[in-house]
Chains A and B, each alone.
Chain A
């Protein structure tokens, strides 16, 4: 088992605390089948005589505490075969961006032999909107997946806070609601992310997206296979042990056919 990044510095009253979903992502990304997939897709040993492909860019959308992207950054060579990867994150919550930066810093310091030194930073933004076309090689998304009657507004949050008081959320509970409230079927935000994959993923790109049973995973997978009119390979690559609960979780991997 690879060590889980330290998040003891994170203020959980306004940033999502690592939970079963986060840990399922860590277990999946470090499973033998996924490390094998990632290394085959993104790494060529210099000894093979084949030119090494450019460093992959791994971006987590909605990192919260940063536990997942810190795990990938700190254990880069174990997961992707090389320390030479780029990592970054986008979150709507400024506190989450700051927490992520610190979680990555700590995890890299604790794992100097395997860590990437190229964490680009965390920026505040709505999903992939600040990212350049076809720039991302591995995208990771633990969405707000809980079905709710409405979605929190996602207008600009000056200084990470919120001026609008139309809804009943106070600032902290508003920020937390962003991390779980998924609207209709818990899919309103995930659907927007899926629709943006053809634009933001590179030719060799792939995305890991977490779903719960109420998201109707089989229907989501079917939709993802023809994103943007293209052909995508979509597989379930991680399942939570908690098979009985309503929050039964799975991780799907969506990739361009290469």
Chain B
């Protein structure tokens, strides 16, 4: 699963949906692998408006990446800054989480990630 997917995933427990600390999920014992994907500037620039930047910054730090800037770069920033562009491309599209857990800070439930697939099925007492 790409790191970018963590921007769209949240705790599956119904009562957590309204809790702000249920998002983003927190990676734990994460094992990462890198793919080699061609950089697409237009794609990244266009992606930024739909990214939750605060959540992404948390995810990046928790996965051991260098801290992201406190505010999202503008399209002009990205066009002028090849390094930030490449770092974002690497974080969002080339990095996959293959093993570990995703933890909800609201209910504490840990979702296992195995062979790149996170398991969001809940035990019966949480459904």
Instruction: Give me the interface of A with B, judged by CB distance under 8 Å.
Output: 46, 52, 54-55, 57, 83-84, 86, 88, 90, 92, 94, 97-98, 101, 117-126, 129-133, 135, 154-157, 199
Selected from B1, B43, B120, B121, the residue in CB contact (under 8 A) with A55 is B43
- Nearest CB in chain B: distance from A206 CB, A: 17
Given contacts A123-B117, A155-B127, 4 further A-B contacts (CB under 8 A): A118-B2, A120-B2, A124-B119, A125-B120
Selected from A57, A92, A121, the residue in CB contact (under 8 A) with B2 is A121
Interface status of B107 (Cβ within 8 A of chain A): no
Interface size on B, residues (CB 8 A): 36
Given A54-B47, A55-B46, A120-B1; A94-B117 close (CB under 8 Å): yes
Given A124-B119, A132-B23; A55-B10 close (CB under 8 Å): no
A-facing residues in B63-102 (Cβ within 8 Å): 93, 96
22 A–B contacts, CB within 8 A, in A order? A54-B46, A54-B47, A54-B48, A54-B49, A54-B50, A55-B47, A84-B40, A84-B42, A88-B8, A98-B117, A101-B117, A118-B2, A118-B93, A120-B5, A123-B119, A124-B120, A125-B119, A129-B120, A131-B8, A133-B17, A156-B123, A157-B121
Instruction: Give me the interface of B with A, judged by CB distance under 8 Å.
Output: 1-2, 4-5, 7-12, 14, 17, 23, 37-38, 40, 42-43, 46-50, 93, 96, 115-124, 127
CB-CB under 8 A from A133, the residues of chain B are 10, 17
CA distance A118 to B5 in the complex (A): 10
Q: Are A84 and B43 in contact (CB under 8 A)?
A: yes
CB-CB under 8 A from A86, the residues of chain B are 4, 47
- Nearest CB in chain B: distance from A146 CB, A: 22
- Nearest CB in chain A: distance from B121 CB, A: 4
CB-CB under 8 A from B7, the residues of chain A are 132
Q: Are A117 and B8 in contact (CB under 8 A)?
A: no
CB-CB under 8 A from A154, the residues of chain B are 121, 127
CA distance A155 to B125 in the complex (A): 9
Q: Are B121 and A156 in contact (CB under 8 A)?
A: yes
CB-CB under 8 A from A117, the residues of chain B are 37-38, 40, 43, 93
User: What is the chain A residue whose CB lies nearest that of B43?
Assistant: A84
- Nearest CB in chain A: distance from B31 CB, A: 15
Q: Are B119 and A120 in contact (CB under 8 A)?
A: no
